[in-house]
Structure 1
Amino acid sequence: MKKIAKRLQGLHSKIEKGKIYDLDSATTLIKTLASAKFDETVEIAIRLGVDPRHADQMIRGAVVLPYGTGKKIRVAVFAKDIKADEAKNAGADIVGDEDLVTSIKNGELNFDMVIATPDMMAMVGKVGKILGPKGLMPNPKTGTVTMDVATAVNNAKSGQINFRVDKKGNIHAPLGKASFESDKIKANLIELIKSINKLKPASTKGKYIRRTSISLTMSPSLEIDSQELVDIK
């Protein structure tokens, strides 16, 4: 426990207490907080001024990060006939229909994202109670229910992330790895913020992005100037 305390104490000493960092400073400093024996994930937490209880304020979407997440994404696709072939040719890891339903019911979830053609959604619904709680249910808003399965698979493999506001108005998402150069972390962050800003509901009152912080898997967080993020278009 003493080693953990000393490690955290050392990390906290690099952060100015109460300071709100600009984007450049935050994405540069965050790299210096890497202390684990593995390549930690850079994570962002955003508090939005929305009320998710209202359907028009349920912020949900997807974005392809320009430099990816640093993680190899395994993609499963519900498709048949020519669309199944397109998915396989695009690099999908698993492609199926009834057989995929059976494997999921048997607890085989060897994938990170699920894509489906619209005609397969009734079949996907059979395992909705399994996929839903894990955030794997395909949705048109995230581009994972589509006839263009090749593009969807390519996007997933290229670093697409899906984001959704939780019950308290927060969005959590990965921005890459600690080993990424700071300008790449910044570029990924800006691309995510652009997507979130585009989804701002007309009914929102007050400040849209209220508080934002970034951290590593095992580090303290840095607060970023939210006004700077609101201005990103």
Structure 2
Amino acid sequence: MGKLGKRTVAAREAFAGKENLTVEEAVSLIKASANAKFDETLEIAMNLGVDPRHADQMVRGVVGLPNGTGKDVRVAVFARGPKADEATAAGADVVGAEDLMEIVQGGKIDFDRCIATPDMMPVVGRLGKVLGPRNLMPNPKVGTVTMDVAEAVKAAKGGEVQFKVEKAGVIHAGIGKISFDDKKLVENVRAFVNAVSKARPSGSKGAYLKKISLSSTMGPGVSINVDNAVAE
């Protein structure tokens, strides 16, 4: 193993022996230890008591963070005619129909969120193998298959975050920038945790929120108290 850098060693020492913190304590610790040369993201990882291989234990949803993500989200919209015009006016970065499908099929995916009107789904459906693995496939359950494309674009640009449980029962997301003040990050953490909590599927038995950890992009993680995290 290579020698650890001074920054990594210092961060690990600061986190040593600390776990099950309140959200406020964890955010303060992470902010104090985040010293990369860029504005790191506050990341959350949630271990859930579900097995997503079963349909009645799948967890997915969307949450509008009260203070946004701090990220410039590029949005693509599959639409025609007036709806395409609405998407463009709302600030969509890429708008198209079959022409956009061909671009994506060619391997160019220059966007972070994909929205489609219902009539475009036969076209978008051909891109399932490309968009699906990247979690970009439009889905009515998270509001990305809709006739109200303008509102969907504004929501995506305004800090809306989608979440979907992975095979191991983990949900991971970026929920703000370290440069945000403590209060805003705490509010974002609780908003995200509460959204996941409310998305508990019918097939989940026993403990649902098993463990929650926070970290910065380049820093170590720290566990937070679940009850404190879900407190309003």
What TM-score does the superposition give when structure 1 sets the normalisation length? 0.95
C-alpha separation between the residues in 2 aligned to 1:202 and 1:78?
A: 33
Give 1:227 shift. 2.5
Q: Deviations over 1:151-193 (max 9, x none)?
A: 1000000011111001111000101111111111111111111
- Contact 1:193–1:232 (CA<8 Å) still a contact in 2? no
What residue number does 2:35 align with? 35
C-alpha separation between the residues in 1 aligned to 2:49 and 2:126?
A: 35
Letter in 2 for 1:67: N
CA RMSD of aligned residues (A): 1.3
Letter in 1 for 2:160: Q
What residue number does 1:88 align with? 88
What residue number does 2:161 align with? 161
C-alpha separation between the residues in 1 aligned to 2:141 and 2:187?
A: 23
| Dislocated runs of 4+, deviation >6 Å | none
What TM-score does the superposition give when structure 2 sets the normalisation length? 0.95
What residue number does 1:50 align with? 50
- Contact 2:67–2:188 (CA<8 Å) still a contact in 1? yes
Q: Deviations over 1:172-217 (max 9, x none)?
A: 0101111111111111111111211111123322211100100011
Give 1:18 shift. 4.7
Q: Deviations over 1:62-110 (max 9, x none)?
A: 1111111111011000001111111111110111001101111122211
What residue number does 1:151 align with? 151
Q: Deviations over 1:2-38 (max 9, x none)?
A: 4x43221101121241531011111111101212111
- Contact 2:48–2:208 (CA<8 Å) still a contact in 1? yes
- For this pair of structures, how many residues does the alignment match? 231
What residue number does 1:9 align with? 9
Matching of residue 228 in structure 1 with residue 228 in structure 2:
yes
- Contact 1:209–1:227 (CA<8 Å) still a contact in 2? no
Matching of residue 69 in structure 1 with residue 69 in structure 2:
yes
Letter in 2 for 1:175: I
C-alpha separation between the residues in 2 aligned to 1:193 and 1:45?
A: 10
Q: Report the secondary structure of 1:71's partner residue.
A: coil
Q: Report the secondary structure of 1:67's partner residue.
A: coil
What residue number does 1:25 align with? 25
Letter in 2 for 1:79: A
What residue number does 1:121 align with? 121
Matches within 5 A, 1:97-112: 97-112=97-112
C-alpha separation between the residues in 1 aligned to 2:63 and 2:19?
A: 29
What residue number does 2:212 align with? 212
Q: Report the secondary structure of 1:89's partner residue.
A: helix
The alignment-based identity, stated in percent, is 51
Unaligned runs of 5+ in 1: none
C-alpha separation between the residues in 2 aligned to 1:14 and 1:153?
A: 41
Letter in 1 for 2:187: A
C-alpha separation between the residues in 2 aligned to 1:71 and 1:60?
A: 21
Letter in 1 for 2:218: M
- Contact 2:91–2:154 (CA<8 Å) still a contact in 1? yes
- Contact 2:23–2:189 (CA<8 Å) still a contact in 1? no
